[in-house]
Amino acid sequence: MSEPSWTVVVPVKRLDVAKSRLRGALPGVPHESLALALALDTVRAVLACDAVAALLVVTDDPRVAPAVRSAGARVLPDVPDAGLNAALRHGAETAGGPVAGLTADLPALLPADLGAALRAAAGTPGVRHFVADATGDGTVLLAAPAGVPLDPRFGAGSAAAHAASGALPLAGGWPTLRRDVDTPADLAEAARLGLGPHTAALAAPRCPAAAPGCPGRVYGAGMQGTVATFDGATRTGTLLLDDGTELSFPAHAFDASGLRLLRLGQRVRVDRDTAGAIVRVTLPTMD
At 254, which amino acid appears?
F
Peptide bond into 250 cis (omega under 30): no
CB of 31 to ligand PEP, least distance (A): 16
Cβ-closest position to ligand PEP: 138
DSSP, residue by residue, 50-112: TTEEEEEEEE--TTHHHHHHHHT-EEE---S-S-HHHHHHHHHHHH-SSEEEE-S--TT--HH
Of the listed pieces 2-10, 55-63, 75-83, 151-159, which binds ligand PEP according to CB under 6 A? 151-159
Going residue by residue from 167 to 206, which x/- string records binding to ligand PEP, judged by CB under 6 A? -------------x-x------------------------
Residue 274: count of CB within 10 angstroms of its CB: 12
Alpha carbons 202 and 3: distance in angstroms, whole number = 35
Phi, psi of 251 (to 5 degrees): -60, -40
**Interaction partner, residue 59 (ligand PEP, ligand GTP, none; CB < 5-8 Å by kind):** ligand GTP
Alpha carbons 154 and 272: distance in angstroms, whole number = 35
Find the radius of gyration of the CA atoms of the chain: 18
**Interaction partner, residue 282 (ligand GTP, ligand PEP, none; CB < 5-8 Å by kind):** none
Consult the annotation and say whether 139 binds a ligand: yes
Chain positions 228 to 267 lying near ligand PEP, rule: CB under 6 A, are: none
Report CA torsion sign: 78, 79, 82, 86: negative
At 99, which amino acid appears?
V
Q: Considering beta carbons, is residue 61 or 180 the nearer one to ligand PEP?
A: 180
Consult the annotation and say whether 158 binds a ligand: yes
CB of 19 to ligand PEP, least distance (A): 9
Consult the annotation and say whether 33 binds a ligand: no
Q: Considering beta carbons, is residue 87 or 191 the nearer one to ligand GTP?
A: 87
User: Residues in contact with ligand PEP, total (CB under 6 A)?
Assistant: 10
CB of 131 to ligand PEP, least distance (A): 10
CA angle in degrees (0–180, nearest 5) for 57-77-66: 60
Does residue number 138 form part of the binding site for ligand PEP (CB under 6 A)? Answer: yes
Site for ligand PEP (CB under 6 A): which residue of 41, 78, 133, 189?
133
Q: Considering beta carbons, is residue 68 or 181 the nearer one to ligand PEP?
A: 181
